[in-house]
């Protein structure tokens, strides 16, 4: 199997933690079992390509044009056919993708190719694995993929950089790819047409972005449940809105499970007796909202797991254990559409909807917290001396902006299908756009959680009671150790980011 040393093990498909880890150097090795699978697939490809008696079988991308030009012959020279695969895909635009996504995508590509269904050479997989021991990261533009034949354009840029063409990053500095490879001690990849097509004809960028976004939203979801408990404790709310029988009667498993976790967090809390009989929805309906988000996130869990472990090339080679088109039992090559990223598009669109509502909840809870009409008499904007000081006023303005940006981005991408490529790609999923958009939204959601956490920390400084639930007290102590009180006013951008990082770390621990 494909394995790594250190903290990431690829005896199973990479998980989101492995993708995050891949942003930094790590050791990846290809063991004998994986190499044998790769060699069987490669030998089978060659047997089909150069059959007995000199008879060759047509295989897409090996001896043909691409996309709508599949009916035309490709280039006869193997190296030229590699260029034929990649050159026309150099049409991306926009800023470079984050290293976390690019290296995560290449880790997924390495895993996928190592399954032996792609017909690539073992050297390609081994050289990809070697890259991860360095800080080398291809420069890949954000715009250009429709997510139909996989992530053709972004993966082509990554592949070209591995060949020493285009640009790449080394130690965070952008430079010509050939220079970056040499400085990293890596040799440029030499590819034939089959290798080149296998590297670009898959959904690895989409899958990496979706998995990372989903992981971040999952962490924010857990953080918001804890922050809601801290908010309720600081204000002295009655925890009856989390009653077990109440939520069981609601009938939704996510709400039942989230409610149980929140009751656990609030164990030991004592109501103040001064709050209204019924809290605003941002508190009272939090288990129903967070529970619905949990149910939706469980659907995304399944899509992400399937995509992380799937093989999305075209064509695929099955060298044994299956009959070929002639039924002689020697294996088969299948031309199909596993590169069609529709599951990821649907999942990313759902994730965007969840993110928007979670972000709205965090913003509404902060708005409640800074409002003296609803915050149990705390000063407006949680300022120590209102007028002379402005407390969380700037942070609250920024959260309004974050929510507006999230809402603007939340329009479904998976319904935007446009025909292209002479109608060869007459329906497209736009999974890449959906996943990258969700990745950006997840970052804003983390900042919204950090903003709320900063407000809760400040609330105690300006007069809110200390938590009565021990677990809420632990969270407040961690926040107090991370960010000082706002007294006097100061820029709070770095404090919001620090609180967001703390919450993310705690949620994943």
Query: pLDDT > 90: what percent of the chain?
Result: 73
Tell whether 162 and 116 lie within a shared domain: yes
- Positive or negative torsion for Cα 135, 140, 146, 151: negative
Can you list the alpha helix ranges (DSSP code H) found in 99-203? Answer: 99-113, 122-131, 152-162, 177-184, 193-200
Mean pLDDT of 119-126: 94
Which of 470, 329, 351 lies closest to 410 in space, CA to CA?
351
Tell whether 394 and 260 lie within a shared domain: yes
Mean pLDDT of 107-127: 94
Q: Is the pLDDT of residue 326 over 70?
A: no
pLDDT digits (tens, 9 = 90+) for 204-218: 999 999 999 999 999
Q: Which of 142, 171, 202 is the last residue of a domain?
A: 202
Domain membership of residue 137 (yes or no) is yes
Tell whether 281 and 137 lie within a shared domain: no
Give pLDDT, residue 325. 43
Give pLDDT, residue 1. 47
Give pLDDT, residue 130. 94
Tell whether 291 and 440 lie within a shared domain: yes
Tell me which of 153 and 58 has the higher pLDDT: 153
Give pLDDT, residue 133. 95
Q: Is the pLDDT of residue 55 over 60?
A: no
- Confidence tier at 64 by pLDDT (50, 70, 90): confident
Tell me which of 338 and 486 has the higher pLDDT: 486
- Confidence tier at 2 by pLDDT (50, 70, 90): low
Tell whether 136 and 181 lie within a shared domain: yes
Q: Is the pLDDT of residue 329 over 70?
A: no
* Window from 11-15, 48-52, 264-268, 288-292 with minimum mean pLDDT: 48-52
- Tell me how far apart the alpha carbons of residues 18 and 466 are, in angstroms, rounded to a whole number: 38
Q: Which of 202, 232, 256 is the last residue of a domain?
A: 202
Helix (H, G, I), strand (E, B) or coil at 491: coil
Domain membership of residue 326 (yes or no) is no
Q: Is the pLDDT of residue 265 over 60?
A: yes
Given the residues 60, 117, 157, 439, the one annotated as active site: 60
Tell me which of 60 and 274 has the higher pLDDT: 274
Tell whether 194 and 292 lie within a shared domain: no
Domain membership of residue 325 (yes or no) is no
Active site annotation includes 60: yes
Note if the bond before 315 is cis, omega within 30 degrees: yes
Domain membership of residue 292 (yes or no) is yes
Tell whether 467 and 380 lie within a shared domain: yes
- Tell me how far apart the alpha carbons of residues 150 and 431 are, in angstroms, rounded to a whole number: 9
Tell whether 93 and 231 lie within a shared domain: no
On whether the CB atoms of residues 365 and 228 are closer than 8 A, the answer is yes
pLDDT digits (tens, 9 = 90+) for 290-300: 999 999 999 99
Mean pLDDT of 479-502: 98
Domain membership of residue 317 (yes or no) is no
CATH number reported for the structural domain that contains residue 497 in this entry: 1.20.200.10
pLDDT digits (tens, 9 = 90+) for 179-197: 999 999 999 999 988 899 9
Tell me which of 325 and 87 has the higher pLDDT: 87
Number of domains in the chain: 2
Give pLDDT, residue 82. 84
* Mean pLDDT computed over every residue of the chain: 91
Tell me which of 365 and 201 has the higher pLDDT: 365
Domain membership of residue 253 (yes or no) is yes
Give pLDDT, residue 323. 46
Tell whether 187 and 248 lie within a shared domain: no
Which of 337, 332, 348 lies closest to 310 in space, CA to CA?
337
Q: Which of 138, 172, 202 is the last residue of a domain?
A: 202
Tell whether 15 and 64 lie within a shared domain: yes
Domain membership of residue 442 (yes or no) is yes
Mean pLDDT of 267-286: 94
CATH number reported for the structural domain that contains residue 159 in this entry: 1.10.275.10
Domain membership of residue 109 (yes or no) is yes
Tell whether 198 and 216 lie within a shared domain: no
Helix (H, G, I), strand (E, B) or coil at 175: strand
Q: Is the pLDDT of residue 321 over 70?
A: no
Mean pLDDT of 130-149: 92
Tell whether 190 and 223 lie within a shared domain: no
pLDDT digits (tens, 9 = 90+) for 393-412: 999 999 999 999 999 999 88
Domain range for 233: 210-310+341-508
- Confidence tier at 333 by pLDDT (50, 70, 90): confident
Hey, what are 18's tokens?
Answer: 């492995």
- Got the DSSP string for 246-272? HHHHH--HHHHHHHHHHHHHTTT----
């Amino acid at each position: 199997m494909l394995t790594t040393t250190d903290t990431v093990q690829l005896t199973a498909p990479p998980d989101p933690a492995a993708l995050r880890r891949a942003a930094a150097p790590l050791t990846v090795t290809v063991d004998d079992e994986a190499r044998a699978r790769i060699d069987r697939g490669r030998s089978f490809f060659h047997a089909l390509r150069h059959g007995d008696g000199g008879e060759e079988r047509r295989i897409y991308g090996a001896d043909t044009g691409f996309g709508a030009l599949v009916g035309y012959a490709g280039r006869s020279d193997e190296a030229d056919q590699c260029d034929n695969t990649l050159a026309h895909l150099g049409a991306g635009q926009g800023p470079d993708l984050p290293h976390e996504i690019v290296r995560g995508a290449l880790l997924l590509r390495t895993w996928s190719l190592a399954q032996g269904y792609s017909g690539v050479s073992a050297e390609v997989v081994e050289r990809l694995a070697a890259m991860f021991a360095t800080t080398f990261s291809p420069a890949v533009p954000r715009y250009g993929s429709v997510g139909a034949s996989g992530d053709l354009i972004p993966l082509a840029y990554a592949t070209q950089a591995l060949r020493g063409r285009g640009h790449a990053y080394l130690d965070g500095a952008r430079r010509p790819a050939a220079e970056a490879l040499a400085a990293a001690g890596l040799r440029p990849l030499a590819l034939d047409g089959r290798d080149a097509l296998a590297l670009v004809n898959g959904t690895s960028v989409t899958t990496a972005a979706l998995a990372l976004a989903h992981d971040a939203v999952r962490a924010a979801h857990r953080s918001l449940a804890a922050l809601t408990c801290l908010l309720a404790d600081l204000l002295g709310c009655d925890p009856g809105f989390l009653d077990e029988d109440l939520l069981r009667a609601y009938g939704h498993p996510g709400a039942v499970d989230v409610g149980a976790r929140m009751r656990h967090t609030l164990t030991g809390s004592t109501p103040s007796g001064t709050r209204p009989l019924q809290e605003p929805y941002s508190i009272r309906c939090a288990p129903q909202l967070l529970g619905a988000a949990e149910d939706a996130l469980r659907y995304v869990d399944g899509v992400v797991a399937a995509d992380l472990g799937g093989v999305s090339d075209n064509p695929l080679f099955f060298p044994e254990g299956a009959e070929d088109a002639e039924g002689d039992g020697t294996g088969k090559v299948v031309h199909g559409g596993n590169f069609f990223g529709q599951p990821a598009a649907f999942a990313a669109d759902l994730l965007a909807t969840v993110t928007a509502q979670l972000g709205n909840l965090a913003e509404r809870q902060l708005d409640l917290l800074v409002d003296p009409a609803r915050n149990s008499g705390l000063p407006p904007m949680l300022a120590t001396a209102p007028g002379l000081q402005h407390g969380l006023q700037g942070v609250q303005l920024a959260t309004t902006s974050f929510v507006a940006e999230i809402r603007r981005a939340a329009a479904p991408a998976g319904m935007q299908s446009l025909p292209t490529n002479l109608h060869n790609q007459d329906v497209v999923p736009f999974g890449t756009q959906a996943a990258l958009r969700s990745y950006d939204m997840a970052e804003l959601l983390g900042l919204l959680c950090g903003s709320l956490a900063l407000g809760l920390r400040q609330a105690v400084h300006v007069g809110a009671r200390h938590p009565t639930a021990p677990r809420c007290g632990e969270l407040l102590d961690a926040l107090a150790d991370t960010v000082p009180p706002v007294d006097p006013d100061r820029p709070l951008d770095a404090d919001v980011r620090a609180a967001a990082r703390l919450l993310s770390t705690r949620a994943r621990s």
